[in-house]
Amino acid sequence: MEIRTVGVIGAGQMGNGIAHVFATSGYDVRLNDISQDTLDRAMALIEGNLDRQVSKGRLTAEEKAAALSRIRATTDIAQIGATDLVIEAATENEKLKHEIFRSLAPHLAPKTILTSNTSSISITRLAAATDRPERFMGFHFMNPVPVMQLVELIRGIATSEETFRTLEGVVERLGKTAASAEDFPAFIVNRILIPMINEAIYTLYEGVGSVQSIDTSLKLGANHPMGPFELADFIGLDTCLAIMNVLHDGLADTKYRPCPLLVKYVEAGWLGRKTQRGFYDYRGETPVPTR
């Protein structure tokens, strides 16, 4: 099946990045959100990121204009149903995702492939609640989407080979690399990455090191480009906690127990960069550790 039109549900950090890369790869994109303000911010951010690519010589001004013209922002989810491929990129909340797919169902074309950008939730379970589990897959982009090269492709138990091969082709056209993952909690990247972050938080919680010393140790001792606390703040501490809970609930292993300190930060609303405070305080000129 040839994919020409793409619907992206959710215009937040992931959704606007997904819309960006599809538009620059020649797809017609419909970007949906319940909030017009969120859509306006997303379009402004996409334009700013395209300008950055132009300034670095990665796009021409004409290519930027063409990409922007391919994105249509809408609060009407019915307009998403007629696309060839739908990518749900809402908050990492299973109940919310089910509600989105239910509201979309009456508007879907028979040929439409449904996907979720979930970073941890069961694809089989999401697919089973739709009318097309054979045409449903996990399509997990990494953040920031325009920069990161990997896309995890996750088949549910009912996903057809045709659906998988179609999305493999889409990833290739985007100029990214696909990694096939089985449908187990958190898939590949987050199954390894988020428990590492959680362990760093336990290391802080137990007084083994400070935020600064732990981040420095991982950057200089393990050659990581970002320390675990810098990365957690970038991802969002609420997202880290949600993934740890999926791992803990889905695998029933105590090694995936979320650190109580992570829970406290989320309860405080200190979610990282997006709220200006997490393991670092971003309200000044330079980030300052909060512990």
Identify whether 144 is preceded by a cis peptide bond (ω within 30 of 0).
yes
Q: Which of 16, 49, 117, 119 is catalytic?
A: 119
47 assigned to a ligand binding site: no
226 assigned to a ligand binding site: no
13 assigned to a ligand binding site: yes
Known catalytic residue at 140: yes
Known catalytic residue at 20: no
What element of type H or E holds 132? none
Known catalytic residue at 224: no
Q: Which of 88, 190, 198, 230 is catalytic?
A: 190
* Token pair for 153: 């492709």
11 assigned to a ligand binding site: yes
Burial-class residue 245 by CB neighbours within 10 Å (0-12, 13-18, 19+).
middle
Q: Euclidean distance between the first and final Cα of the chain, in Å?
A: 52
79 assigned to a ligand binding site: no
Nearest to 30 by CA among 13, 49, 11: 11
Q: Which of 16, 140, 198, 230 is catalytic?
A: 140
> In this structure, are residues 216 and 265 in contact, taking their beta carbons and an 8 Å threshold?
no
Q: Which of 20, 88, 116, 152 is catalytic?
A: 152
12 assigned to a ligand binding site: yes
- In degrees and rounded to multiples of 5, residue 144 shows phi and psi of -80, 135
137 assigned to a ligand binding site: no
Known catalytic residue at 49: no
33 assigned to a ligand binding site: yes
Residue with tokens 């319940």: 34
Annotated binding site: 10-15, 33, 92, 97, 119, 143, 274
For the annotated catalytic residues, the residue numbers are 119, 140, 152, 190
Annotated binding site for NAD(+): 10-15, 33, 92, 97, 119, 143, 274
